[in-house]
Amino acid sequence: MTTEGMHQPVGRHPHREAACSEKHAIKRHNICGIQIARLPSRMGDGTIELAPLRISDWPLIGGMLRDEQLAELLGLPVRGRSTSLLVWLLIRKNYCFAYAIRSSRASGEPLGFIGLHSLTFGVSARIGLVIPCESYRRLGYGRRAVTLLVRNLESQAFVERVVAEIRRENRGALLFARKMGFSEEETTGESVLLSLPLERGG
């Protein structure tokens, strides 16, 4: 995850009170019954809001990404010029929770994307974060987004840690993840895996 396009875990910072409404839920059946993971469909801190990803968000968000960034975000090879609809469908297919990062101001301008994928109940989930426009980086939006998401993950307690996978050459993303409290677990090929343990009942 990177501030321009990366899979990256979130860090531990003072958490603000999240404004929450409704719930997103996913279910997994096993021999013991049904496991349910729930997160608010909306959360905010007065400066940004995480809201359900809409098709209409992607002309602004997806259109600013290079193909390699889309491939990293989606975890898939994305060749040629991808349409907003294709990007949205791939995100919805691969991410169990997918949010647009929006300004809390009246315009609600999309700033980027954050979501969770590869969720294993009771163990971990991987995070994807993209702030595609250079003018929106280094303004704290990525930090606020991951802090909101981590706060709500801690309160729901269906995973023990968040994992980020970042390309080794993406130094900006690696620095961001470490500042957020993630620590390196292993390096595999071209990627670095980092993780953040969650506090229960945060």
Q: Express each pLDDT in 108-127 by its tens digit.
A: 778 999 999 999 998 999 99
| C-alpha to C-alpha distances, 154 to 21, 72, 157, 159, nearest whole angstrom | 17, 26, 5, 8
Buried b (16+ CB within 10 A) or exposed e, 167-199: beebeebbebbeebbbeeeeeeeebbbbbbebe
What pTM did the predictor assign?
Answer: 0.80
* Residue for token pair 């050459």: 169
Q: Which of 35, 40, 51 is nearest to 108 (CA)?
A: 51
Helix axes 84-94 and 67-74, enclosed angle (nearest 10):
20
Mean pLDDT of the chain: 79
Neighbours of 77 (CB within 10 A): 9
Q: Please report the pLDDT score of residue 35 as a whole number.
A: 61
* Mean pLDDT within 155-180: 93
**C-alpha span between 151 and 110 (Å, rounded):** 21
| CB-CB contact of 18 with 151 (8 Å) | yes
| C-alpha to C-alpha distances, 186 to 7, 27, 94, 164, nearest whole angstrom | 15, 30, 23, 11
User: Bigger pLDDT: 19 or 153?
Assistant: 153
**Which residues does residue 39 pair with via DSSP β-bridges, in sequence order?**
24
Answer whether residue 73 shows pLDDT above 80: no
Q: Please report the pLDDT score of residue 1 as a whole number.
A: 54
pLDDT band, very low/low/confident/very high, at 160 (cuts 50, 70, 90): very high
Domains delineated in the chain: 6-197 (3.40.630.30)
pLDDT band, very low/low/confident/very high, at 32 (cuts 50, 70, 90): very low
* Mean pLDDT within 160-166: 95
* Mean pLDDT within 146-172: 93
Distance of CA 97 to the CA centre of its chain: 8
Q: Please report the pLDDT score of residue 95 as a whole number.
A: 92
Q: Please report the pLDDT score of residue 80 as a whole number.
A: 60
